[in-house]
A and B are shown apart, each in its own frame.
Chain A
Amino acid sequence: MITFPGPVSALVTLPVSADRDGIARVLGLERLARDALPDVRATIPAFNRLLIEGSPHSWDPVDVEARLSAALKECVVKVPEIDGGDPVSLPVCYDPELAPDLEDLSVSAGLSVAEVARLHSRTTYVVLATGFAPGFAYLGDVDPRIAMPRLRTPRRRVEVGSVGIADRRTGIYPAAGPGGWRLVGRVPSALFEDPTERIARFRPGGTVEFRMIDRDSYEAQCG
Chain B
Amino acid sequence: MTAAAVSAECLKLRRTLALRLAIGAPLAVVLLNLFIYLQGRGGGAAGSNPLVGFAQINFTMWTILVLPLYIALAAALIAGIDHQNNGWQRIFSLPVTRRSVLAAKWIVTTGLVLVSSVALAFAICLGAELLRLSRPAFQPWSPPIALVILRSLQTFAAACLVISIQTWVSLRWRSFIAGLSLSIVGVLILLGGVARAGLGTFIVYVYPWALPATAMARMWETHPDRWIVTLWGLAGGALVALAGCWDLSRRDFS
Bound pair: A and B?
Answer: no
Residues in chain B within 8 A of chain A (CB atoms):
none
Residues in chain A within 8 A of chain B (CB atoms):
none
